[in-house]
Amino acid sequence: MGSRAPSAPLQSKLRQVSFELLAECPHTRARAGVLHTPHGDIETPVFMPVGTQATVKGLTQRDLAEELGAQIILANTYHLFLRPGHELIRKLGGLHRFMSWPNAVLTDSGGFQVFSLSGLRKISDRGVVFQSHLDGSSHTFTPESTVDVQLAFGSDILMVLDECPEYPVSHEYARESMHRTVRWAKQANDHFRSRIVESPTRHALFPIVQGSMFPDLRRECAAALVDLDADGYAVGGLSVGEPRPLSLEMVEATEDLLPRDRPRYAMGVGMPAELPEYVARGIDMMDCVLPSRNARNGYLFTSAGRVIIKHARYRDDERPLDEKCRCYTCKSYSRAYLRHLFQSGEILYAVLATRHNIRRYLDIMRGIRHAIISKSFPEYLKCVRAAAADVD
Ligand SMILES: [Zn+2]
């Protein structure tokens, strides 16, 4: 095994978004590469901070791009479709210009939020009719319409509309739902291809492997989606309340069926110690609200484990949050000050905490990538597992 030749130049030219594999770990399925997009190159494996409302809460775009080095962020189609609306964003020059973000953007299809947030919803083979969680108004997402919405945003990477079943569901329901997801992916893919033929801008559309927690359905779904010859593939339906080992098992069930020269994206994962576990199973891209949401709730991730900042023991703790971290928060402030801001409900707390947590996630990914390229990923993984066992 070892390093692999990059994809052929001809193929890269034809592809809207191309993936270059730089190194593979000979002992695990881990890979390091570069994802080339119209808004810059993305070093993989990558963690994508979540900017639900076209903002990563508490951070400026300059913080994200320049200080933290985020090369791609995720934005949510469901939320931006409802408010301010995709037509407005298109009119204002697309999402990159609207939010003044120079790097790449991936948008989800909105499916996950329709199933988890909206009130009444009705699924048919045509799509899903749902009620806005904001004002109760009725809307329809179809495989084609969610492609149109994401093209109006100008997203670099679009996701197909999928059905994300809750956990647990019966094998029968999971199969029916998975077949619908495959049909929707084909429709979305056909529509996407017809739209981009005339488009002056470049984009990629990723289909999503579903099948709940049934390996046979996951494999059937992956095999069907590979026929679409997409620029990348996602594994969805994870982090829906299943035990953690099961999520990893579903990735394992799928990974060998997905083309090796395309990026694989595990949606909505995970905790810091899980990031290298997904990478070890062949995942190149991940996203999760945990670093930003937990930061705001007082839960901080450090190189020595978690810090619950409200704990009394930090009241007069003069040390930086994480002695090994080089973020602005850790360079400038004490745990005592952060705790004071948190206890006082100050806005600055959320700003400083988010900045650190996102930096921690991005640093972890940089460490993983470095380990893969320098052929020390198995040792890296061993250390992470030992540390995680210590904490638990
Ligand atoms: Zn820090």
Question: Structure tokens of 284?
Answer: 């190149």
Side-by-side strand order, sheet with 128-131? 121-123, 128-131, 138-141
How far, in Å, is the centroid of ligand 1 from the Cα of 156?
A: 29
How far, in Å, is the centroid of ligand 1 from the Cα of 324?
A: 8
Rounded Cα distance, 369 and 45, in Å = 6
How far, in Å, is the centroid of ligand 1 from the Cα of 50?
A: 18
Rounded Cα distance, 192 and 181, in Å = 16
Q: Is the peptide bond before 270 cis (omega within 30 degrees of 0)?
A: yes
How far, in Å, is the centroid of ligand 1 from the Cα of 333?
A: 10
With the CA atoms of 174, 180, 184 and 185 taken in that order, what torsion angle do they form, in degrees rounded to the nearest 10? Answer: 50
List the catalytic residue out of 108, 162, 322, 363.
108
Place of tokens 């009394």: 312
Rounded Cα distance, 186 and 225, in Å = 8
Rounded Cα distance, 245 and 235, in Å = 15
| Per-residue pLDDT at 13 | 45
Which of 46, 96, 102 lies closest to 75 in space, CA to CA?
96
How far, in Å, is the centroid of ligand 1 from the Cα of 339?
A: 15
Place of tokens 């049934």: 214
How far, in Å, is the centroid of ligand 1 from the Cα of 363?
A: 10
256 within 8 A of 223, measured Cβ to Cβ: no
| Per-residue pLDDT at 391 | 67
Distance from CA of residue 105 to its chain's centroid?
A: 11
Cβ-proximal residues to 142 (8 Å cutoff; 6+ apart), any chain: 126, 127, 161, 187
| Per-residue pLDDT at 1 | 39
Rounded Cα distance, 183 and 40, in Å = 32
284 flagged as catalytic: no
DSSP strand pairing (157-159 vs 233-235): unpaired
| Per-residue pLDDT at 276 | 98
List the catalytic residue out of 63, 287, 322, 363.
287
How far, in Å, is the centroid of ligand 1 from the Cα of 293?
A: 16
How far, in Å, is the centroid of ligand 1 from the Cα of 44?
A: 22
Q: What is the CA radius of gyration of the chain?
A: 21
Side-by-side strand order, sheet with 40-44? 18-24, 31-37, 40-44
Which of 17, 10, 15, 8 lies closest to 35 in space, CA to CA?
17
How far, in Å, is the centroid of ligand 1 from the Cα of 328?
A: 7
SS3 123: strand
Cβ-proximal residues to 159 (8 Å cutoff; 6+ apart), any chain: 77, 106, 107, 108, 109, 111, 150, 205, 206, 208, 234
258 within 8 A of 250, measured Cβ to Cβ: no
Rounded Cα distance, 190 and 202, in Å = 16
Rounded Cα distance, 186 and 84, in Å = 29
Strand (E) or helix (H) holding 150: helix 143-153
Question: Structure tokens of 326?
Answer: 């080089």
SS3 172: helix
How far, in Å, is the centroid of ligand 1 from the Cα of 330?
A: 4
108 flagged as catalytic: yes
How far, in Å, is the centroid of ligand 1 from the Cα of 300?
A: 9
44 within 8 A of 259, measured Cβ to Cβ: no
With the CA atoms of 214, 216, 217 and 221 taken in that order, what torsion angle do they form, in degrees rounded to the nearest 10? Answer: 140
With a cut of 70, which residues of the chain have pLDDT below it?
1-15, 391-392
